[in-house]
Amino acid sequence: AGDLLPNPTLDQLIATGFNRCHVTTNEGGTIPEEFYVRNVVDRVETTGQVFMGLTLGCAVCHEHKYDPITQAEFYQLFAFFNNMDGAAMDGNVKDHAPVVHVPTSAQRQRLNELQEALLAARRQRDDRVRRAEPAFAAWTRWQHELLKAGGEMIVRSADPAGLVVHLPLDEPSGNVAENVADKAGQADKADKAPAKAEPPAKPAKAAPKPVKAVNATLRGKLQRVAGARDGALLFSDPESLIDAGKLGAYKRGDAFSFGAWLKSPAASAGAAISKMDQSRNTGYELRVDKLRAEAIFARSTDNLAVIVRTPAGALKADQWHHVFVTYDGSGRASGVAVYIDGQRQPLEVVMDQLGSYDFSTGKPLLLGRRDQVAESAWVGGAIDDVRFYARRLDEAEVAQVALASEMA
C-alpha cells in the first residue's frame, strides 16, 4: 500500500496496485453483495500467494489438519480488506478510480520539462493579471455606472450563442412561464444584421437552435416574490414546482451549461434544477444543500455518477446568488465547473465514476424538486432567470451572463 508511505515514489505507489484487479461486472441479475464478498476474498487470496507464499483458497470455507492458516484467520484478514471503495457492480469501467499515469523514464523527463514550463507561464500570467487589475477594476466600475444611467452595452454584448432555454419567471400571474430563448436569439440577429447582406464565402456553422414553443408550467403553491432582477418564484411547499417538460434534454457526450439566480434559507436542502428519473437514479441535477451548491450527473443506483459540490458556506442564507454549472461532455468530475456570482468555485469531488455511461432521460425538466419525490423538494427556496446553453460557457462568459441577467 504505497499510498500510505510518506512521499512515495511512483514505483512504491503502484507496487501493490495489482491487488485491485479483481472481477468486474455489470451483468443483469448479479447480486451486488455476492460479488463484493467475492472481490474481498480475491484480495485476501492474492495477498497470501504474493506476500506469504501460501495458497489460502481452502480456508475460505474449511480447514485442513496441517494448513498453517485457519478459517478464522482467513476471515480476520478478510475483515482487513472489507472496506473496499467503489461498488461491486462497477459497470466494467476500464479505469476505475483511483488511477495514476505511469510514464516511461523518457516520458517522465519530458513531463517534468513541461511542468516547469507550465509553472513559468502561470507566473507570467499571474504577473500580467496583477498589473492589469487596477485598470480592470476601473473598467468594471464604468460598466456599472453606464448601466445605471440606462446604457445597454453589456446586456447586448452578452453572447447568446447556444441559448436554448431562458425562463425569466417575470409573469405577474397565470400558470405559464414563458421560454424567451428564441426571442432573444432573433433580437440578437436583428441587432447584428448588416445593411446589405453579402453571401458568405463558406456556409456558416449553425448555432444550436432553441426549443421553440415550449414553455414551463407552474404547479402547486408557488409564490411570486421580488427576484434578483424583476420577479421570481418561491417554492412554498413540497408540491410546488415548475415543470419545463422536454426542455434541457442532454446526454453524457453533450457539452452544456445551466443555472439560475437562487435564494435559499440556511437549513433548506433540495433540487433547484432537476432532470432526473428517480426510479433509475438517472439524469442530472443542481441541488442546494444547506448553503452548498451540488451538481449531479448520474447513470444508475450503482454509484455510476459524477457528484461535485462547493465548500460549505459558499451561499449566504436568504441572499440572491447566481449559480451556474458548466459540463464539457467528458463524463468526468474534471469536466464540471460550478460558478457562484460569476466566480468559479473550488469543488469537492464526492464521486467520479460515471465513465462512459449515459445519463439521458425522458423525464421532465423540473425546477424546485426531483421527479415524483416530495422529499427532494427545495421548500423555502426561490428561483429567478433560469438559463440553459447548448455548449460549455467559459469563465468570462458565465461572469458576463451573471452580470447581464442581474442588470437586465
Domain limits of the chain? 2-81, 162-193+205-407
Section 204-230 average pLDDT: 74
Does the pLDDT value for residue 153 go beyond 60?
no
Average pLDDT score over the chain: 85
**Contact at 8 Å (CB) between 384 and 229?**
yes
**pLDDT of amino acid 159:** 52
Section 16-35 average pLDDT: 84
Does the pLDDT value for residue 170 go beyond 60?
yes
**pLDDT of amino acid 22:** 79
**pLDDT of amino acid 152:** 54
d(CA 121, CA 144): 32
**pLDDT of amino acid 150:** 66
C-alpha cell at 243: 415543470
| H-helix or E-strand spanning residue 143 | helix 105-148
Q: Give the closest residue to 378 by CA, choosing from 281, 265, 294.
A: 265
Section 278-282 average pLDDT: 87
Does the pLDDT value for residue 388 go beyond 60?
yes
> Cα–Cα distances in Å, from 181 out to 206, 240, 349?
16, 24, 32
What percent of the chain lies above the pLDDT cut of 90? 52
**pLDDT of amino acid 301:** 66
Task: Name the CA radius of gyration of the chain, rounded.
Answer: 26
In terms of CATH architecture, what is 162-193+205-407? Sandwich (2.60)
**Contact at 8 Å (CB) between 92 and 26?**
yes
**pLDDT of amino acid 98:** 75
Instruction: Write out pLDDT tens, residues 365-386.
Output: 999 998 777 788 999 999 999 9
**pLDDT of amino acid 406:** 62
Place of cell 448601466: 147
Does the pLDDT value for residue 395 go beyond 50?
yes
**pLDDT of amino acid 151:** 59
**Contact at 8 Å (CB) between 235 and 264?**
no
Section 350-358 average pLDDT: 91
Instruction: Write out pLDDT tens, residues 297-312.
Output: 998 767 789 999 999 8
C-alpha cell at 113: 520539462
**Contact at 8 Å (CB) between 48 and 54?**
yes
C-alpha cell at 288: 442546494
Confidence grade of residue 136 (pLDDT, cut at 50, 70, 90): confident
**pLDDT of amino acid 189:** 42
Task: Give the DSSP letter of residue 373.
Answer: B
Instruction: Write out pLDDT tens, residues 172-202.
Output: 999 999 999 876 544 444 444 444 444 444 4
Residues for the chain: how many in total? 408
Tell me if residue 370 falls in helix, strand or coil: strand
**Among 207-221, 293-307, 360-374, where is mean pLDDT lowest?**
207-221
Provide long-range contacts, Cβ within 8 A and 24+ apart, for 49-56. 50/19
**pLDDT of amino acid 246:** 92
**pLDDT of amino acid 205:** 47
> Cα–Cα distances in Å, from 404 out to 40, 49, 101, 183, 190?
54, 64, 42, 16, 19
